[in-house]
Amino acid sequence: MWLRLHLVSGVALFLALTAPWFIAVARANSEFAEFFFVHEHLQRFLTTEHRRPGPWHYFVPLALAGSLPWVLILAYGARRAWREGARNAPGFSWHRFALVWAAFVFVFFSASGSKLPSYILPMFPPLALLTGWLLLTLDTRTLSRVALPGAVVAVALALIVLVGYDGLLARMPTRSQPPEAMAAFGGWLKAALTVVAAGAVLALVAFRRAARFWGAAALAVSMLGGLQLATAGYDAFSATRSTSAMLRSAQALAPFAADAPFFQVAMYDHTAPFYLGRTTTPVAFRDELGPGIDAEPTRQIPTLAAWIEQWQHLPQGYALLPPHLHAQLAADGIPMRVLARDSRRVLVSRR
Q: What is the pLDDT of residues 260-270, one digit of tens each?
A: 999 999 999 99
- Type of residue found at 101: W
The answer, yes or no, to whether residue 26 has pLDDT greater than 90, is: yes
Q: What is the pLDDT at residue 180?
A: 82
CB atoms within 10 A of CB 136: 9
Q: What is the pLDDT at residue 52?
A: 85
Q: What is the pLDDT at residue 67?
A: 96
The mean pLDDT value of the chain amounts to: 92
Handedness of CA 153, 200, 196, 60 (dihedral sign): positive
pLDDT tens digits for range 162-186:
999 888 887 776 556 778 888 899 9
Q: What is the pLDDT at residue 171?
A: 76
The three-point CA angle 162-209-151 to 5° equals 25
CA distances, 276 to each of 186, 264, 285, 299 (Å): 31, 13, 20, 17
Confidence of residue 239 (pLDDT cuts 50, 70, 90): confident
User: Looking at residue 90, what DSSP letter applies?
Assistant: T
Mean pLDDT across 81-106 = 89
Mean pLDDT across 219-240 = 94
Q: What is the pLDDT at residue 231?
A: 95
- Spans of all domains in the chain: 1-138, 145-241, 244-349
Q: What is the pLDDT at residue 122?
A: 97
The answer, yes or no, to whether residue 25 has pLDDT greater than 70, is: yes
Q: What is the pLDDT at residue 66?
A: 95
Q: What is the pTM (predicted TM-score) of this model?
A: 0.81
Across-strand partners of 264? 282, 320
pLDDT tens digits for range 101-148:
999 999 999 999 999 999 999 999 999 999 999 999 999 999 999 999
Confidence of residue 92 (pLDDT cuts 50, 70, 90): confident
The answer, yes or no, to whether residue 206 has pLDDT greater than 90, is: yes
Mean pLDDT across 143-159 = 96
Across-strand partners of 263? 281, 319
Measured CA to CA, the distance from residue 330 to residue 53 in angstroms comes to 35
